[in-house]
Structure 1
């Protein structure tokens, strides 16, 4: 599947004219970033003797191209990139990553529109939950989607959508985290006289963990969502987006592993001046669990970001985030001393971006974070520094 999607994306990109027309975009890029991380494996103080060295440096060399092509009323957005990640000390963690995306925003007449697309990415799984184990695991995520929207009235429209997603781990140790799901959705929307949009949505997801041992966890689940979605332009400087709803998740055998409750996400972008921007988000969402001692995890958090255009060439950025991850769903297996995790993660970053010429951007920044868990070995703190250079041709 990976080879097929990469060929489709690259073929679509190479089939485009060598010289783009006005309004089209055909933009190759190359970048290199260098990182220093003080606690690469995200180990607790009591676990630091598990590895010979806590810190490491690594480089990320990336190259690819982006396309935004508009033939008539259609629009094709595509990208393809490859990344080589190489570590100075822990060379066993070296890997090659990739990211492919293809999206066709189609229109038919004045009433029909929609999207057809696919994405595929390969990246290294998080090292924060491996407790220092020297496992170089990559995760390949694939997504295929299609939707159609019918505007049957100047202010009303209805839509249908379908998608299929997979997540596949490269090592046998992490194969139990593989999952597959298919989803369908129906939406009814209304556009206000001022341009804000409100939609009600019914969505159902059928999922499977194909490699999980049944003795510990259900392998199949059905998730039903009843959502209210909105996009608002509150003023010329403030826009907001929201999704709030009720989610019910049912497993195939054990009802004590089910979930039902309110979920949602709110976000806002505020432009107080022509040179500053603030972004904020808050969420409560259910996600597939990466722990065999839980059927699912409930993520609740918030984030805040800011950008300040100091000069025409220099931009200062800052961000901070907080997230609570609650691992839930009774597995039905009692193991003395083993509890379900509940942990808080706090992180922040500060960076400076400099564009000496139009096609080149240089970034320099620092990051820091910590996690506090009810399972002591999952606590950690870290600090990192990075510098990157990117050229867009």
Structure 2
């Protein structure tokens, strides 16, 4: 395990920024080695995702619910081909400083390292490792019993993946791989839990001469919750097994439109408490339409199942619609919009409930990118989020799960 202290993070960020300002090298996508450094400011008018009914003095100990966050980052990117092989490394340090709620300050260390290996033109695969760290959203991470003592919870996800793709002839491919996912929170969060999940996958894929493809993949996972023993009272388990069967399709309808689709079946069984088990259909259908040379639109609908373990639910089903138009105004300027609507149905209660929880979550975002030179990129965005929920218990501590939030961000990135 790699441990990097906050002071070290700051030193590395400062060093990279200083190096960037003193180095005349220009960024070039063809370079094997690239650096980046940047900063952004975000204003969030409802940081803790509180309902309008919440008494902020009692719930968070302050009169205002907004905050301003200064985000600085520095990164190194390596992408080096060598004969049939390709080696990639992407390191990023992201420092988050909160103006009002400084106890939420944190520095994320994110990385991805990959070896895109190839034995022959017909046998290839990927060996990769990555890590992502992020502050858990207060839309779900809440302590209703002691909201005055709001805690910072950083979620760290680590993935280790090895996969292989072998062409056996006539457009047919054999697929396989193994993986490990480690997920942990810096503060105990039983609804999600810290876990290690290991598994393997096996499949077959057909790629037509037109490059349209269809694949059938079977996955099997074993999961173990860390620091948890099976508890009959809460029916929080120590482990689980999960099986997934999935069909994937990529089909280019015309030169300007592409369908990316998948449908599958997921089945999760827990080691001790079958009351937490769940299964169901998962799916995604995305339509990518390049209307003109400068305007493209991606539209998608999907269904996913997520583990979320409380007394009143064990998981939820999320049905989501999203649309994202992107307009390349000029060679240096682009505008985009994204609208998401998700209906979430919480199921699998282990206690008697009068009504199961149902949420409607919506978000709308406008963003703009301007890159006046190869080394400078300026970005800005406006975002609105809202949630309506059947769970409606107004109190000083924000028991009501409904909220509205607005965010505005502006930032700049130096690439070299």
TM-score (norm 1): 0.90
Give the corresponding residue for 2:405: 382
Give 3-state SS (helix, strand or coil) of 2:82's partner. coil
**C-alpha separation in 1, matches of 2:309 and 2:409:** 28
Corresponding residue for 2:8? none
Q: How many residues align?
A: 378
- Find the counterpart in structure 1 of residue 87 from structure 2: 76
How much does 1:177 deviate?
1.7
User: For 1:213-228, what aligned pairs fall within 5 Å after superposition?
Assistant: 214-215=231-232, 216=234, 217-228=236-247
* Residue 275 of structure 1, CA deviation: 0.9
Equivalent residue for 1:314, pick from 333, 336, 340: 333
Q: Is the CA contact (8 Å cut-off) linking 1:113 and 1:150 kept in structure 2?
A: yes
- 2:183 is matched with 167
Query: In 1, are the aligned partners of 2:91 and 2:110 still within 8 Å (CA)?
Result: yes
Whether 1:129 and 2:134 are equivalent positions in the alignment is: no
For the residue of structure 1 that corresponds to 2:287, the secondary structure is: strand
Q: Distance in 1 between matches of 2:141 and 2:159?
A: 26
How is 1:215-294 mapped onto 2 (pairs within 5 angstroms)?
215=232, 216=234, 217-289=236-308, 291=310, 293-294=312-313
Shifted more, 292-301 versus 267-276: the winner is 292-301
Cα deviation 1:190-226 (Å, max 9, x = unaligned): 1123111111111112112233452322232211111
How far apart are the structure 1 equivalents of 2:29 and 2:321? 40
Q: Is the 8 A contact 2:237 2:273 kept in 1?
A: yes
1:70 is paired with a residue of what secondary structure?
Answer: strand
Q: Mark the CA change 1:21 to 1:125 in structure 2 (over 3 Å): closer, same or farther.
A: closer
Equivalent residues in 2 for 1:1-393 (5 A)? 1-3=1-3, 23-49=30-56, 50-51=59-60, 52=62, 53-131=64-142, 132=147, 133-172=149-188, 177-212=193-228, 214-215=231-232, 216=234, 217-289=236-308, 291=310, 293-331=312-350, 333-334=351-352, 340-376=356-392, 377-393=400-416
1:107·1:113 contact (CA, 8 Å) conserved in 2? Answer: yes
Larger mean CA deviation between 216-225 and 195-204 belongs to 216-225
Deviation digits for residues 90-134 of structure 1 (CA, Å, limit 9, x no counterpart): 111111112110111111113211111111122211121244552
SS of 2:412's equivalent in the other structure is strand
Q: Is the 8 A contact 2:26 2:375 kept in 1?
A: no
**CA–CA distance in 2 between the matches of 1:92 and 1:354?**
33
**Higher mean C-alpha deviation, range 100-109 or range 259-268:** 259-268
- Preserved CA contact (<8 Å) 2:96 2:107: yes
8 Å contact from structure 1 (residues 277, 306) kept in 2: yes
Deviation at 1:263, TM superposition (A): 0.7
Q: Structure 1 residue 24: deviation in Å?
A: 4.5
Query: For 2:29 and 2:272, how far apart are their aligned partners in 1?
Result: 58
* Contact 2:42–2:69 (8 Å) recurs in 1: yes
User: After superposition, what is the alpha-carbon deviation per residue over 1:252-281, rounded to whole angstroms, capped at 9, x for unaligned?
Assistant: 233343222211122232211111111122
Distance 1:113 1:130, change over 3 A: closer
Query: For the residues of structure 1 that align with 2:308 and 2:345, how far apart are their CA atoms?
Result: 10
What do you get for the CA RMSD once the two structures are aligned?
Answer: 2.4
- Contact 1:176–1:211 at 8 Å: present in 2 too? no
- SS of equivalent residue, structure 1 residue 273: coil
